[in-house]
Amino acid sequence: MSVAQLLAALASPDPTPGGGTAAAIAGAMGGSLLVMVTGLAKSNTNADGEKAALAEARARIEPIIGRLMQLADADTEAFNAVMAAYRLPKATDDEKAARTRAIQQALRGATDVPLETLRACESAIGDGRVVATHGNRSAASDVGVAIGLLKAAGDGAAANVCINLDGLKDQDYKTAVGRELGELSAKVAAHCAEAMRALA
Amino acid sequence: MSVAQLLAALASPDPTPGGGTAAAIAGAMGGSLLVMVTGLAKSNTNADGEKAALAEARARIEPIIGRLMQLADADTEAFNAVMAAYRLPKATDDEKAARTRAIQQALRGATDVPLETLRACESAIGDGRVVATHGNRSAASDVGVAIGLLKAAGDGAAANVCINLDGLKDQDYKTAVGRELGELSAKVAAHCAEAMRALA
């Protein structure tokens, strides 16, 4: 899909692709910028240990970019599944029960996908801190943009988790996801603060 | 350009496209999500005045999306011009003087482009507040993602303005841009806070 087609699809009144897809793609852009900085000929001090740290960060970030692009598509599919479940017939008690089960299953998918996006962004932002510390200073603004995009992507994913979690009935799942959401959000905030300190 | 090609270009060790281009595209994604919400059949209360406000916001945001895509390309060109200027010969005094002039001219271009990106994002976030207030509540998370992406894009653009402004010698220009930067950043922060209140 071209960038122009993506923008047109986001702008169309169809509910998908929506914010979850845009967030995942923004995260993938952020990850790509971090990879760029790890690939520059010079690092911050050019020390061997620093170059090794950047190479390790790059090896962790690269698969996350592809994962975020898969999640961009998965978000659209998960939301379409929720809408399809809500459109199921509800004339009889059996139909009502089947529809409720389908909605719950679809909402769980629509929660798991942005949760996975948030996990991917948290991981990439953690490595963003490494890139901010050890990367070539001439690319500091690229790292800053990368962190900002990954943070916006993670925040957007977290908001989508919350919305879909609201409609779920499985209390054990809700509790577990709520706890992980809090932990991931705290880690994202801490990584961002450390990265911004390193860039300042 | 496909999204995959964009990500590969961002990830390559070539300095362009870099953070300025990624920021502008993220802003265009945010603007596109806002346009999506203005196009939904239902608004928040379905009042006529509300639908008119959304239609006006849409008319202002739509051209900004195209403008941000132009700025994404312009950012790459402006940065390439800076690098080309630094590569000019500096063997003689005449060459040194010509190189200094070329660098100053190129840095001014590389400041004007992200400043224009910041202006575009500020404008779109201002309308994001309108969409947050009057748009269909079912799309609240899309509006939240849109505002987050536009904010990250504006912050990234502001950082690029600052970096290039540092190298400029024209004090009048530096003072004027510094003042506008402060005003735009304050407006962005205020719009975001109001939009988030409307979405809460």
Query: Does the distance separating the beta carbons of A40 and B12 come in below 8 Å?
Result: no
- CA atoms in the 13 A half-sphere facing the CB of A183: 9
Chain A partners within 8 Å of B7 (Cβ): 28-29, 32, 65, 69
Query: Does the distance separating the beta carbons of A159 and B145 come in below 8 Å?
Result: yes
Interface probe, candidates A12, A142, A150, A185, chain B, greatest B C-beta count within 10 A: A142
> For B71-86, what is each residue's pLDDT tens digit?
999 999 999 999 999 9
Tokens matching residue B180: 């506008």
Q: Which residues face A160 on adjacent strands?
A: none
Q: Which residue has the tokens 């992980």?
A: A180
pLDDT of residue B200 exceeding 90, the answer is no
Instruction: Give the per-residue pLDDT at B70.
Output: 98
Instruction: Give the per-residue pLDDT at B64.
Output: 98
Mean predicted confidence (pLDDT) in A31-56: 96
- CA atoms in the 13 A half-sphere facing the CB of B19: 28
> For A99-121, what is each residue's pLDDT tens digit?
999 999 999 999 999 999 999 99
Query: Does the distance separating the beta carbons of A22 and B30 come in below 8 Å?
Result: yes
Of residues B58, B141, B200, the one with CA closest to residue A79: B141
Chain B partners within 8 Å of A143 (Cβ): 19
> For B161-188, what is each residue's pLDDT tens digit?
999 999 999 999 999 999 999 999 999 9
Instruction: Give the per-residue pLDDT at A52.
Output: 97
Choose among B20, B26, B62: nearest Cβ to A29. B26
Q: Given CA atoms B178, B21, B33, B56 in this order, what sign does their dihedral have? A: positive
> For A160-184, what is each residue's pLDDT tens digit?
999 999 999 999 999 999 999 999 9
Query: Does the distance separating the beta carbons of B11 and A65 come in below 8 Å?
Result: yes
pLDDT band, residue B15 (cuts 50/70/90): confident
Instruction: Give the per-residue pLDDT at A13.
Output: 95
User: In which region does residue A46 sit, left (phi positive, over 0), alpha (psi from -120 to 50) or beta (all else)?
Assistant: left
Mean per-residue pLDDT over chain B, rounded: 96
Percent of chain B with pLDDT strictly greater than 90: 99
Nearest CA distance, B8 vs chain A (angstrom): 7
Task: Kindly give the residue spans of alpha helices, DSSP state H, lying in chain B.
Answer: 3-11, 19-38, 48-86, 93-134, 140-166, 171-199
Instruction: Give the per-residue pLDDT at B60.
Output: 98
> For A73-93, what is each residue's pLDDT tens digit?
999 999 999 999 999 999 999
Mean predicted confidence (pLDDT) in B147-151: 98
Instruction: Give the per-residue pLDDT at A66.
Output: 97
> For B22-73, what is each residue's pLDDT tens digit?
999 999 999 999 999 999 999 999 999 999 999 999 999 999 999 999 999 9
**Which ipTM was obtained for this model?**
0.96
> Which residues have a Cβ under 8 Å from the Cβ of B100 and sit 6 or more positions away?
none
Cβ pairs bridging A and B (under 8 Å): 169
Instruction: Give the per-residue pLDDT at A200.
Output: 87
